[in-house]
Amino acid sequence: MERRDGSRLDAVRTVMGGMRHERGVGVDALIVPSADAHQNEYVPEMWRRREWLTGFDGSAGDALVTRDGALLWTDGRYWTQAAAQLEGTGVALVRSGARGAPTMAAWLARETSWRGRGGGVVGVDARVMTLRAFEDLSRRLERSGAALVALRENPVDAAWGERPAPPRAPVAAHPEALAGRSAAEKLADLRAAMRAAGATAHPIAELDTIAWLFNLRGADVAHNPVFLAYALVTLEDATLFTDGARVDAGALRALEGVASLRGYDEFEDALREAAAAHAGKFWIDEAQASVWLATLVGGGGAIAERSRSAATLAKARKNAVEIAGMRSAHVRDGVALARFLLWLEGPGGAGGVTEFDAASRLEALRSGGEGYAGTSFTTIAGYGANGAIVHYRAREGSAREIGRDALLLVDSGGQYRDGTTDVTRTVHLGAPSAQDRRDCTLVLRAHIALASTRFPEGTSGVRLDALARAPLWALGLDYAHGTGHGVGAHLCVHESPPSIGARAGAASAAPVEEGMVVSIEPGLYVEGSHGVRIENLYLVERAAEGWLRFDALTMAPLQRSLIDVSMLSAAEVAWVDAYHARVREALWDALDAPERAWLEAATRALGDGA
């Protein structure tokens, strides 16, 4: 990553001074979120404005540029990385979620140094801030005498100049045999929900919802099989707005009689046309739709329904075919993981192998699985102190060599035509220390605490989060990231809903429901020493009338030498043994004799020797 010298900040400030908006000319502060017009977590290169401006390339973080300063807010996954990448750039790091750290809204409301005449004007590109976020921040700033304005143009774009070209990857049909339901059936369900809500038109900007709704997949966003598009669904018809030249013949056939196809850039005019015909009858998902989109339909008075899209919620609740595909994909993924762990204990741990080599080896093993379609995110392989960098990325030429005297954390995932995986294992290739075993066992206990729980229907993610943290809290320990996130079915590895996290908000306040797939991934990080994380994906399934539970999808052994059995209760030992028995049964038939011998030893009951 190229180090920024502040010249880009100066260029943006120059543009800020001439920006026209409803309150006049010029803004005193500019918000530069990591998100794009579709609220993507992983953003196409042409929209990586915050990265271009600050040099910080993590997947989450929002920058604020003032007339004489700049700040960046990011969560605990990226504190170490951001501190290194922002050094000497003129951008100050604010550690979101840390004790005493203000939110961006609180900072803007409290500080006065950034304000010009008239109380201060904060600008943001209308396309990259959601309606809900804009309204919430606007109210907060108004109370402090400042104003938030939606900008028609992005000052960063003007300063950037020639940006990367938009992605144009092919768009293909996702077979109904893997989707479980036709696009026509999904649209019928969405229209029924629209009628119930009193809505006649529903514009959609969320890429994975669009891909799911029309049973299509693409490759415009790294690691996520989605494509740049908008959709407009009415009670009578549906229109997909994307570059038609890259939609393949199979996808075109799948759209026949289901939706018409128009260019991506035609969406704005189409929505303006629809505004008159559907005045007061729009369904706008305020958590995903931008201020720009809401303005196009006529503002707040044109909106009949503001809740999450019925299509987004249906996507999160996997149907029987999607669940079967996820289970099958996880078995193939587990086979690759077993072979990887076996390799680590042999040639991979014999010296000369770097973190980058290990990540490459794992991807190569996954690629042999049926239906493999790439990684679901960039593999995190952190040895020793690098494991404490929650979203560490090993780079060729600078990656650390893996030895036998520290922990190795590997967080990885695969995209398969029938499912998406995400799994973390922490291993030691030598003789782990007492602290290594203690920390790994504590994280295992945290994982089991949530994975083994039953909970009533309607329980929110923020309430479940505390169950995983409790074993760590008891010792004054914690981790600065969420406990779990939703996962799509051959879609985004981070899907919302659901969300299991400690911070109260719309995502974690939503209930975790039957049919959703969610990660459970507590961790423990000692900066400068090591990191521990244990992550499985789980299906949320019915346990009894009115009650839910988690059923493991991930099939990969936990390293027995890192488990201090004396720290576990009898119930926790039984949980590990039962899980390992499932792993052994799921993977056995796909392995050869030496691999089976390794698996049998790796999944032996905890009470059965070392």
Q: Where are the domains of the chain?
A: 7-160, 172-315, 320-602
**Residue 4 burial (10 A CB sphere; 0-12, 13-18, 19+):** buried
pLDDT digits (tens, 9 = 90+) for 118-159: 789 999 999 999 999 999 999 999 999 999 999 999 999 999
Residues 540, 548: Cα–Cα separation, whole Å: 7
CA–CA separation, 437 and 72 (whole Å): 36
Q: How confident is the model at residue 610 (pLDDT cuts 50, 70, 90)?
A: low
pLDDT at position 1 = 52
Does 172-315 match 320-602 in CATH topology? no
Q: Are 261 and 290 in contact (CB under 8 A)?
A: no
Higher-confidence residue of 540 and 76: namely 540
- CA separation for the pair 422, 556 (Å, rounded): 11
| Residue 170 preceded by cis peptide, ω within 30 | no
Residue 263 φ/ψ region, left for φ over 0, alpha for ψ in the -120 to 50 degree band, beta for the rest:
beta
Tokens of 404: 């036998």
d(CA 308, CA 310): 6
Helix (H), strand (E) at residue 325: helix 320-345
* Alpha-carbon torsion (267, 273, 276, 277), positive or negative: negative
pLDDT at 3 exceeding the cut of 70: no
User: For 7-160, which CATH superfamily applies?
Assistant: Creatinase/prolidase N-terminal domain (3.40.350.10)
User: Span 10-17, mean pLDDT?
Assistant: 94
- Give me 417's structure tokens: 């035509």
Give the pLDDT score at 113. 87
Q: Which of 394, 455, 403, 411 is nearest to 430 (CA)?
A: 403
Which two three-digit tokens encode residue 100?
A: 């005493």
* Residues 426, 252: Cα–Cα separation, whole Å: 45
Q: Is 89 helix (H, G, I), strand (E, B) or coil?
A: coil
The long-range contacts involving 297-306, CB below 8 angstroms and separated by at least 24 positions, are 297/201, 297/203, 297/271, 302/275, 302/278, 304/197, 304/198, 304/199, 304/280, 305/194, 305/197, 305/198, 305/199, 306/131, 306/132
Contact 376, 486 (CB under 8 A): no
Q: What is the pLDDT of residues 317-333, one digit of tens each?
A: 999 999 999 999 999 99
Residue 467 and residue 193: Cα distance in Å, rounded? 34
Per-residue pLDDT tens digits for 486-531: 999 999 999 999 999 987 677 788 999 999 999 999 999 999 999 9
For residues 416 and 176, what is the distance between their CA atoms, to the nearest angstrom? 15
pLDDT tens-place string over residues 62-83: 999 999 999 999 988 889 889 9
> 407-431 burial string, b = 16+ CB within 10 Å, else e?
bbbbbbbbbbbbbbbbbbbbbbbee
Report how far apart, in Å, the C-alpha atoms of 75 and of each of 39, 136, 141, 297, 483 are: 17, 20, 23, 34, 13
Q: Which residue's entry shows tokens 């996702």?
A: 174
Query: Is residue 311 pLDDT above 80, yes or no?
Result: yes
How confident is the model at residue 609, as a pLDDT?
61
CATH number of 320-602, picked from 1.10.150.120, 3.90.1170.50, 3.90.230.10, 2.60.40.420: 3.90.230.10
What is the SS3 string spanning 426-476?
EEECCCCCHHHHHHHHHHHHHHHHHHCCEEECCCEHHHHHHHHHHHHHCCC
Q: What are the beta bridge partners of residue 455? A: 548
Coil/strand/helix, residue 190 = helix
Pick from 317, 377, 319, 306: nearest CA to 498: 317
CATH no., domain 172-315: 3.40.350.10
* 594 contacts: CB under 8 Å, gap ≥ 6: 342
pLDDT, one tens digit per residue, over 212-247 is 999 999 999 999 999 999 999 999 999 999 999 999
Rg of the chain on CA atoms, in Å: 25
Residue recorded with tokens 């999160």: 316
344-356 pLDDT, tens digit each:
998 777 778 999 9
Cα–Cα distance for residue pair 439/397, rounded to 1 Å: 30
Look at residue 568 and tell me whether its pLDDT is greater than 90: yes
